[in-house]
Amino acid sequence: MEKLSIVKIGGNIIENEIALHTFLQLFSSIEGKKILVHGGGKRATEFAVKLGLAPKIISGRRLTDAQSLEVITMVYGGLVNKNIVAKLQALKINAIGLSGADANSIRAKKRPITPIDFGFVGDVKEVSSNAIDALIQASFTPVFCAITHDGNGQLLNTNADTIASQISISMSKSYATVLYYCFELNGVLRNFNDKTSVIQHLNTTRYQGLLKAGIIADGMLPKLENCFDALKNGVAKVHIGNTEMLTKENDNFTTITL
């Protein structure tokens, strides 16, 4: 089965022009078919503040009201997405920028309002592998922002890690999908204060042990949940680390297995 690489990049890479350029060079050098998924929350927050909109947080999680959704759509789907697409074109990668609404590629449902109403936040319901594959077969490299739609005209803010995982699962029916989560750290760490303490191999049993010990916590939890969900649903391999893991010379990152 032909390999398909799905790469998700975090906001810290997007915010740093040098880091973004380095990443896109590495991404462009990946052999074979590939898809890029990105967020852009920090940039969206900056623009919201400039517009006089204060971020609304409930239980540590961001609420997406109507005004926030407008900013997110402009920043994720416009500024960030098209900037990445233009830079990839300069690297001779024929990228095409997309939201989940484009080609009806990712449909989501609005998150239930109980116990907490997070506003216009969507949970992925369906990924159209046929639509995405049509673009890939036409020699395009899809670049997805973290926006989906509900099929009734409503855009929804959706977690980019989840989008990457769900795309990987959907495309695994036709490809050997390999999912990469690229962010500023070298991988999953034994000690957060020691950036070299990378756990190179993490399976379900070891994950549960580290979870009970409190070594894995906070923002890494939903990311790892997406990793294991992908592996349980047909994805061939999942890796977490900094952008250097996209090079064949680097092996200092975390590989997730069941």
Binding-site annotation, residues: 40-41, 62, 157
CA distance 205 to 14: 33
CA distance 157 to 211: 28
* C-alpha torsion 58→121→21→256, nearest 10: 90
CA distance 151 to 220: 31
Which region holds residue 150: left if phi is over 0, alpha if psi is between -120 and 50, else beta? alpha
- 126 residue type, one letter: E
Residues whose CB is less than 8 angstroms from the CB of residue 8 and which lie 6 or more positions away in sequence, other chains included: 36, 37, 38, 160, 161, 163, 164, 179, 180, 181, 182
Q: Are 45 and 51 in contact (CB under 8 A)?
A: no
| Burial class of residue 78 in the structure, from the number of CB atoms within 10 Å of its CB (0-12 exposed, 13-18 middle, 19+ buried) | middle
CA distance 52 to 35: 35
- Which token pair is 128? 């159209």
Nearest C-alpha neighbor of 73 from the set 113, 117, 116, 122: 122
Binding site feature residues for substrate:
40-41, 62, 157
Cβ atoms within 10 Å of 214's Cβ, excluding its own: 7
